[in-house]
Every structure is written in C-alpha cells, then in structure tokens.
C-alpha cells in the first residue's frame, strides 16, 4: 500500500508499506527482542529504614525510574519500531532499508538486536527523523489492524524523546 512520508522541505517520499505478518510480536520474542526487566529496590519508611513484611523479610519494589532501565526500555521500543518498519518495507525496493534485508533468510536468532540497531543507523543515515518513524509505525499499525501496546509505547518513546539512541 503506498504511503507518503511527508518531508519538511521537499517532496514527500513514497513508501510501499505492507501489513506486519501474523505473529510478528512472537517472532520478535523468539529472536531475542524482549522487554527489559525493571530493577528492584528496597522499600524504605519515612526514616530511611527498610520496610519488612509480616515474616520479617525486606519488601522490594519495582524501580521503573532507574536511568539504566529507562534507557534499555527506549532502546527496546526503538528496535521494535525499526523492525516493524523493516518488515512493512520488505517488498519496497526503493526504501532505505532495501539493502539491509537479508536475501534468503532473516538474521540468525542471536543477531536480531544487532540487525535492528543496523537498520536504525541506516534510517538515520538516510535522513529519517523521529517523526518519520512515528508516522510509519502509525500507518503500519493501521494497515495491520494492530493495536499493540509495544508499538504505541515505541511511538510515545520517539515523540517524547526527540533524540536517538543506538
């Protein structure tokens, strides 16, 4: 399906987007694209002492504010968004990712994170902006009849940060 990617100071770029394959999210999981696990921290009372449960064990809380965890989440969402775009553009010979798609097979299991990072750098080199990735993911979501928390989170990550990680 043709999709016009608007350009700020030039003609739009025409992309041939296709819906994502059924099981796309499971495919990513099988190939090691897995959400990071948030770290735990000790719960503390107002005096800074560790809180204990009824059995005297320290209470632990999920620490979603941890900087390392937040950076890992941003990179995870970036990889999902880029891989979604790569799969949606897999039949478009004019896309900036055309040369990055393996000819006979997809990358081996352990190499998908590196492949996603390579695809991201290819898009950056091709002049793509954060909004381009957001617009493409929005259209892919529509084409695929997909309401995905992961793609929505990836889109939010790109629209909020305005910068790239990789």
Give me the pLDDT at residue 103, please. 47
The residue behind tokens 């320290």 is: 58
3-class DSSP state of 149:
helix
Indicate if the pLDDT at residue 135 is higher than 70: yes
Please give the Cα distance from 76 to 157 (Å, whole number): 10
The residue behind tokens 């694209």 is: 33
Cα first-last separation, the chain: 29
DSSP letter at 131?
H
Give me the pLDDT at residue 158, please. 56
Q: How far from the centroid of its chain's Cα atoms is residue 87's Cα?
A: 13
Ranges of each domain in the chain: 2-38+66-161
**Residue pLDDT, tens place only, 104-123:** 456 666 688 988 998 999 99
């Amino acid at each position: 399906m043709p999709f016009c990617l608007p350009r700020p100071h030039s003609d739009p770029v025409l992309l041939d987007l296709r819906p994502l394959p059924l099981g796309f999210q499971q495919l990513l999981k099988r190939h090691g694209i897995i959400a990071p696990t948030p770290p735990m921290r000790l719960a503390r009372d107002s005096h800074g002492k560790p809180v204990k449960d009824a059995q005297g064990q320290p209470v632990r809380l999920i620490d979603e504010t941890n900087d390392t965890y937040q950076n890992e989440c941003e990179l995870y969402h970036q990889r999902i968004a880029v891989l979604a775009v790569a799969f949606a553009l897999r039949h478009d010979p004019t896309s900036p990712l055309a040369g990055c798609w393996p000819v006979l097979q997809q990358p081996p299991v352990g190499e998908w994170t590196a492949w996603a990072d390579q695809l991201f750098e290819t898009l950056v080199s091709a002049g793509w902006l954060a909004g381009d990735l957001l617009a493409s993911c929005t259209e892919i979501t529509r084409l695929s009849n997909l309401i995905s928390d992961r793609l929505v989170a990836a889109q939010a990550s790109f629209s909020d940060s305005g910068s790239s990680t990789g």
